[in-house]
Chains A and B, each alone.
Chain A
Amino acid sequence: CIENNAEKYYNRPDVQHAMHANSTGISYKWTACSGELLDNWKDSEFSMLPTYKKLIAAGYRIWMFSGDTDSVVPVTATRFSLSHLNLTVKTRWYPWYLNGQVGGWTEVYDGLTFATVRGAGHEVPLLQPQRGFLLFQSFLAGKNLPRS
């Protein structure tokens, strides 16, 4: 229910003033998700895999991660999609650790790193903030997740 806090906070006039927000007086309340946009979404690519192929070929650093208690875009969905990129494995599947606990599992491919985050849902940093932070640190540093 945590998003109810945001629904209250960002509709406070003093907060909007402090953030220079809603300066034109939008005719509807601020809300976390716009149903009108979602219901009327026009074009959506069937697959992002061709775009991934181009961006991997261009040499960008690409990481994908999955909170493994999410059932909306679950870890098996991402793994099954990723498997169709047919990437070469550089570092085989291993558990990564944080504070002596398995933070998740990871596999490094040529051009892409995949990692799971154990015990996290769709919003990984919400339920596993420390594991999410280590994932981000490792991504920025361009380092594989720690083996111990």
Chain B
Amino acid sequence: SLTNEQEKDRIKALPGQPEVAFSQFSGYVTVHKKHGRALFYWLTEAATHNPLENPLVLWLNGGPGCSSIAYGASEEIGPFRINETASSLYLNKYSWNKQANILFLESPAGVGFSYTNKSSDLRDSGDKRTARDALTFLKRWMSRFPQYRYRDFYLSGESYAGHYVPQLAKKIHDYNKNHSNPFINLKGFIVGNAVTDIKYDNIGTVAYWWSHSIISDSTYKSIMSSCKFTSAKYSQNCDDAINYAWNYEFGEIDQYSIYTPSCN
């Protein structure tokens, strides 16, 4: 039986939404009572004959500071797309909820609808607290949705979630090690275009810029000779070389998709 709290979160229908057979829930889970930090989630259950048989998949976008509802849910893997005038929704033929129950989480507090009552929280967020709050969210969310306890569970995400996902996976792993019958049944994770290692990511990124003819040979040489990428802080020469590339060689492209039109 669904908990009362769960029923309170049920979405009857979104404005302009087409008729669907799967259930949806959304709402807040408090992750830090004293600071009034609460994370917002949106669950789109599996569009299958019995969602109870399908795994649960948590999706996180990166940034840091970007919303899984703005990107993951609304333009990537969610069941709906928003039309140009934002007056109605239409179905995504390749929605991932055709295979699984998809849980979108706006994380950390300050992203999207997720909020904090302590405004200083917005100026000292970081990997550690984000992972800690996300684990707290999961434990409390699974109390509200006990039908998902012990269910096959996967994490997924892209970009800076290349940090969030493995860090949360590690937290879950350590939490489970200290509990005899762990209810967060993590089986694995999948990440796309994931921020992984500052040094190697940067070297590989500059190689991509050069091999895809976005930057000149001389700029490639000046970046590779002045940038060590051994710390998050770049030297002035390195900064100058990269800024030159961005300002004079890249041109007006969509860096996130270099062969499609850029958005003016």
Contact = CB atoms under 8 A, between A and B. Distances in A.
Q: Do A and B bind each other?
A: yes
A71 B193 CA distance: 10
Given A42-B125, A77-B205, A121-B260, A18 B193 contact: no
B170 A15 contact: no
B84 interface: yes
Contacts of A89: none
Contacts of B14: 15, 18-19
A137 B51 CA distance: 16
B48 interface: no
Contacts of A58: 173
Contacts of A125: 76-77, 94, 96
A16 B55 CA distance: 28
Interface stretch (B58-66, B133-141, B236-244): B58-66
Interface string B29-44: 0000000000010100
B194 A122 contact: no
B169 interface: yes
A123 B75 contact: yes
B162 A5 contact: no
A8 B74 CA distance: 12
Contacts of B232: 44, 46
Interface in A13-57: 14-16, 18-24, 26, 30-38, 40-49, 51-52, 54-55
Contacts of B187: 60-61
Contacts of B231: 46
Interface in A112-148: 117, 119-127, 129-130, 132-133, 135-137, 139-140
Interface string B180-207: 0000001111111111111111111101
Contacts of B197: 46-49, 81, 84
A61 B165 CA distance: 13
A65 interface: yes
Contacts of B179: none
Given A24-B115, A47-B197, A67 B192 contact: yes
A1 B204 contact: no
Nearest to A55: B169
Most chain B CB atoms below 10 A, which of A44, A45, A77, A130? A77
17 contacts: A6-B75, A8-B82, A10-B69, A10-B113, A14-B15, A20-B27, A30-B67, A34-B110, A36-B123, A37-B108, A42-B125, A47-B197, A70-B255, A70-B256, A73-B159, A74-B204, A123-B158
